[in-house]
Amino acid sequence: MSYFDRMNAVHIDILKEIGNIGAGHAATALSKLLNKKIEMTIPDVRIISFDEMMDIVGGADHVVAAVFLRIEGDAPGNMFFVLSLPQAERFIQQMTGDAQFKLTSECSELSLSALQELGNILAGSYLSSLSDFTKLNLYPSVPELSIDMIGAILSYGLIEVSRVGDCVIVIDTAIHEEQQPDDRVNGHFFLLLDPDSFNIIFRALGVESNE
Amino acid sequence: MSEVAHVVKIGIADMNVVKAPNLIRTCGLGSCVGVVVYDLGREIAGMAHVMLPDSSLSKVDEVNVAKYADTAVGALIQRVIRAGGRTNFLKAKLAGGAQMFQFRSASTDIMRIGPRNVEAVHEQLRRFNVPIVAEDVGGNSGRTIEFNPKTGMLLIRTVNQGVREI
């Protein structure tokens, strides 16, 4: 029996709560950083195929700005903060005060490092709240920024999970800036835990892992 | 090309075979490798989107053959032959195997998965005596690739370097 089959409603609720707490802290950090109201969706926990996961953010060849960090420690996994290009541009504009900023192949190192730092702060606050909640030791790797096709980026988060099957458990929380003309979702936090990490987290929270 | 019927898309850890005038495409290759095996004379081509170098990495018994280089290449060759390809006329092209992230700190081998995938695909093609006509591998960019079995050309699209054919 695969680990997907062992998930029951309680487990899914716990994962939603993890997404809620983590992304909640990250959204608060973002809101303070930009002095703006940031809204967040209810976390979505889905067990889906790799291709379906790419479709959440517009298909595998859709170009995005993403900060990726590997979680090490008691419950290893991968965390992605994915922004649409217009949203990444808006965040950079707000942080650097350069209202004309556009993401091009020759845009300044400073603006890219600002975006990387933004990802660093947000992913760090997501992770530290998760660590506080579970009392587990979780360490982020140095985050890396990539502006490229989403399939090429997210597949790094699938390497571990692909060793046990063709599905992935995605903990997805979407955020968007208030008062944007298009009310579409503009940012995603994806938490992709390594397969063995689920039971470690459930046990840390005192829930039977159904094994 | 108005005669093109349609483009067959393959997903991650997936494979398929097409005949001209159809095209075959896979999107968003990062560390994954897209390998094409084709018989130009018969206008038949198969493509696999390989994720990992070796099926010994699998922790389950039931293995998706398209996922691992060591199982995918052989299975792909079989499917091309079953569709009418001739063993001695098969050629290969491949793309992908990028290193999207550096992660100097990470202890794991995971971050070198792109080059390892490329090596494993090379090894399998050698094993089946399928010559590699062209390849575009490595680097740090994602790729979307599309193969035309009629012309034998592989179209490669990247975000920063545009489109090129090999």
Task: Give the CATH number, domain containing residue A143.
Answer: 3.40.1550.10
Nearest-neighbour CA in chain A from B50: distance (Å): 11
Q: Give the count of domains, chain B.
A: 1
Q: pLDDT averaged over chain B? A: 90
State which residue of chain A sits closest to B66, comparing Cα positions.
A166
Other residues' Cβ atoms within 10 Å of the Cβ of residue B165: 12
Give me the residue from B28, B101, B103 closest to A61, CB to CB: B28
The reply to whether A209 falls in a domain is: no
Q: pLDDT averaged over chain A? A: 84
Each residue of A35-84: pLDDT tens digit? 888 888 888 898 899 999 898 888 888 999 999 988 889 999 999 999 88
Q: Give the count of domains, chain A.
A: 1
The reply to whether B107 falls in a domain is: yes
Strand partners, A79: A69, A191
Helix H segments across A101-171? Answer: 109-134, 150-154, 159-162
Worst-scoring range by mean pLDDT, A64-68, A104-108, A111-115, A152-156? A104-108
Cα separation, A77 vs A195, in Å, equals: 8
Residue B31 touches chain A, beta carbons under 8 Å = yes
Residue (of B103, B129, B130, B127) closest to B114 by Cα position: B103
Catalytic residue flag (residue B32): yes
Each residue of B58-92: pLDDT tens digit? 888 888 899 999 999 999 999 999 999 999 999 99
Per the structure, the complete domain to which residue B106 belongs is given by 7-165
DSSP string, B72-119: HHHHHHHHHHHTT--GGG-EEEEEE-------SS--SSGGGHHHHHHH
Candidate list B24, B32, B69, B145, residue with the active-site label: B32
The reply to whether A50 falls in a domain is: yes
Cα separation, A56 vs A192, in Å, equals: 14
Residue A59 touches chain B, beta carbons under 8 Å = yes
The reply to whether A4 falls in a domain is: no
The reply to whether B24 falls in a domain is: yes
Span B90-118, average pLDDT: 81
The reply to whether A106 falls in a domain is: yes
Using alpha carbons only, give the angle A81, A86, A87 rounded to the nearest 5 degrees: 40
Worst-scoring range by mean pLDDT, A81-95, A102-116, B80-94, B132-146? A102-116
From residue A162, how far is each of A101, A204, B58 by CA, in Å? 38, 25, 8
Taking an 8 Å cut-off on Cβ atoms, the answer to whether B142 and A148 are in contact is yes
Pairs across A and B, CB distance < 8 A: 112
Per the structure, the complete domain to which residue A34 belongs is given by 9-204
Task: Give the CATH number, domain containing residue B26.
Answer: 3.30.1330.200
Residue B6 touches chain A, beta carbons under 8 Å = no
The reply to whether B2 falls in a domain is: no
Across A120-210, where does the E strand assignment appear?
Answer: 138-140, 144-149, 167-177, 187-193
Each residue of A151-182: pLDDT tens digit? 999 998 888 888 888 889 889 888 887 765 55
Taking an 8 Å cut-off on Cβ atoms, the answer to whether B98 and A51 are in contact is no
